[in-house]
A and B are shown apart, each in its own frame.
Chain A
Amino acid sequence: MAFAGDSPARPKLAAVNAAPAGLRERLLARDETALAELIDMTSPWLLGVTESILHDRSEAEEVVFDVFDIAWQKIGTVEPERGGLMPWLLRVARNRAIDRLRRRNRRLRTIDGARAVGVLGDEVVAPVELNEAGTPGWHVHTQVHAALVALPDEQRAAVRLAYFHGLTHSEIASELSIPMGTVKTRLRLAFDRLRPALASLKDWVQ
């Protein structure tokens, strides 16, 4: 799984400038067209999250299907004041992908897969391409990138392995050949830096 700018061949995504108003309310009202809109707007990001963890497109899709099913069933439990619908979807997708990853116990394969596509280590995040500005949520993507780029390299590497690839402390320590205490410290420092940068972002799926 690559990060923005890493791959020269970026997939073409549907250009939707803004989410329709009241999407959550329409989902609550069991409006299936709202569900279709939600799928269109969020699938690229949810697939990005799950595929970065699972390194398997088919499994990633299965997780995302589950996420939409959960969203459809439990939309009433999503509290806007706790970050909104999209962070909730991202959290569910990520947690379920990690659950699946750990169930199948293919850690070595995952690490190998990540290494094969060059996402481990301290590679530099490339700038965002302007022609993606019409992609729903892309503005959030760019701000997350800016926050990640601002981290020291060693902290960014730890965040990537933990957050984007679902590795545990001990696995990160093994991967980076550093003590586990150092991993914990880097992650904690990184999250302390990221929190203020990310906390102000607003939900674009509404």
Chain B
Amino acid sequence: MTSHDWFIEHRAAWVARALDAEEEGSYRDHLARCAECRDAVAELERDLGWLSMGVEPVAPRPGFRREALDRVVGARRRRHDWILPAALAASLLISLSLNWRQRGRIAALDAGNAATGTSVAALRDTLSVERDAAQVLHADFATSGVPCSITIIADDHTHRWSVVVHGLPPARPGEKYQFWFITDDGMRRGVTIDAVPGRVASFLTGMPPGNARVMGAALSVEPAENQGSEMKGSALAKIMM
């Protein structure tokens, strides 16, 4: 049996975690029984509580806060967030609508079903990243007689958007699909969208550089050579926040 004096003598060592494993176990057992040592240790812990701030701080890597938030509240949010089921339902409705219009065309229906599965998978992947999305924006449009839609999932925390475009046929030679930001200071060029038959086009994008406030987005068909900041082609869709 270790004497009480030993526990008194080793209070600081307990707080510092400097006891060896066996001693630490013995001390833990003692604290469960000894209110005097328990109080003394608590007081010592409080007095030395700031000692850890003697280390040099380490700057968290980019994305650390998001990951920490996701670890802590992400699981709960996944259970309650309405966006995931709502967006998935919207995606299914859109795809069903597209399929309805093409009913009777078996081949097209098969392609539509495949696109639906792909779009659901794409949305699920996207939404798993963008659980904090504050807004889901959507617009239907058509190009070359093909019904299409664009869905933007906007995350107010990271200021990133997940953009999903359904049904977009490949651009004609000499043309390209261009995504634009509509800001209070004019249009800002976004990414160029590469449309592949039978596949949903999706991408993540940050906000354009500068201080302009983003008010919405647009999709246009542009001459392939247009690298400027002005829309010179035909607007296909416009979404305002």
Chain A interface residues toward B at CB < 8 A: 1-4, 6-7, 10-13, 32, 35-36, 39-40, 43-45, 47-49, 51-52, 60-61, 64-65, 68-69, 72, 82-84, 86-88, 90-91, 93-95, 98, 102, 135, 137, 140-141, 143-145, 148, 159, 162-164, 166-170, 172, 183-184, 187-188, 191, 194-195, 198-199, 201
Which residues of A are found within 8 Å of B59, using beta-carbon distances?
A: 11-13, 44
Residue numbers in A under 8 Å from B19 (CB-CB): 168-169
| Docked-complex contact B57 and A195, CB < 8 angstroms | no
A-contacting 9-mer, from B29-37, B66-74, B138-146, B202-210: B66-74
**How far is B67's CA from A184's CA once the two chains are assembled, in angstroms?**
40
Give A47 to B56 CA distance when docked, in angstroms.
Answer: 9
A187 touching B16 by the CB < 8 A rule?
yes
- Given A4-B56, A32-B73, A72-B73, also A191-B50 (CB < 8 A): no
Residues of B within 8 A of A172 (CB): 18
Contact of A169 (CB < 8 Å), options: B13, B48, B55, B71: B13
Q: Which residues of B contact A90 (CB under 8 A)?
A: 49-50, 52-53
Some 30 contacts from A to B, beta carbons below 8 A apart, are: A11-B58, A32-B69, A36-B69, A39-B65, A43-B64, A43-B68, A47-B58, A47-B60, A48-B56, A49-B52, A65-B72, A69-B71, A82-B45, A83-B45, A86-B50, A90-B53, A145-B54, A159-B51, A162-B13, A162-B16, A164-B52, A164-B55, A169-B13, A188-B13, A191-B12, A194-B48, A194-B51, A195-B48, A198-B47, A198-B49
Check B53 against A45 for contact (C-beta < 8 Å): yes
In the bound complex, how far is the Cα of B53 from the Cα of A201, in angstroms? Answer: 11
- Check A11–B12 contact: CB distance below 8 A: no
**Are B50 and A51 closer than 8 Å at their CB atoms?**
no
Expressed in whole angstroms, the Cα–Cα distance for A82 and B48 within the complex equals 11
For A93, the chain B residues whose CB sits under 8 A away are 52
A149 to B70, CA, bound (A): 39
**Complex: A32 Cα to B77 Cα, angstroms:** 11
- Cβ contact within 8 Å between B48 and A191: yes
Q: How far is the CA of A49 from the CA of B55 in the complex (A)?
A: 6
B contact residues around A98 at 8 Å (CB): 17
* Chain B residues whose CB sits within 8 angstroms of the CB of A36 once the complex forms: 65, 69, 157
A13 surroundings in chain B (CB, below 8 A): 57, 59
Chain B interface residue number, banded: 35 or more
Instruction: Chain B residues near A201: list those with CB within 8 A.
Output: 50
Task: Tell me the minimal C-beta distance from A93 to chain B in angstroms.
Answer: 7
Chain B residues 92-139 with CB under 8 Å of chain A are: none
Q: List, in ascending order, chain B residues with CB within 8 A of A102's CB.
A: 21
Are A69 and B72 in touch, CB under 8 angstroms? yes
Q: Which residues of A contact B53 (CB under 8 A)?
A: 45, 90, 137, 140-141, 144
CB of B225 closer than 8 Å to a CB of A: no
A44 and B72 in contact (CB under 8 A), knowing A191-B12, A191-B16, A198-B51? no
Interface string of B70-84 (1 = CB under 8 A from A): 011100000000000
> Which chain B residues numbered 1 to 28 have a C-beta less than 8 Å away from chain A?
9-10, 12-13, 15-21
- B46 is an interface residue with CB less than 8 A from chain A: yes
Asked if B18 contacts A44 (CB within 8 A), the reply is no
- A40 and B16 in contact (CB under 8 A), knowing A3-B55, A82-B42, A87-B46? no
Residues of B within 8 A of A82 (CB): 42, 45-46
CA distance A68 to B68 in the complex (A): 7
Instruction: Determine whether the beta carbon of A144 is less than 8 Å from that of B18.
Output: no
Minimum CB distance partner of A6 in chain B: B56
Closest chain A CB from B38 CB (angstroms) = 12
Closest 9 CB pairs of A and B: A87-B49, A11-B59, A44-B57, A47-B58, A48-B55, A90-B52, A83-B46, A199-B47, A83-B49
CA gap between A12 and B65 in the complex, in Å: 15
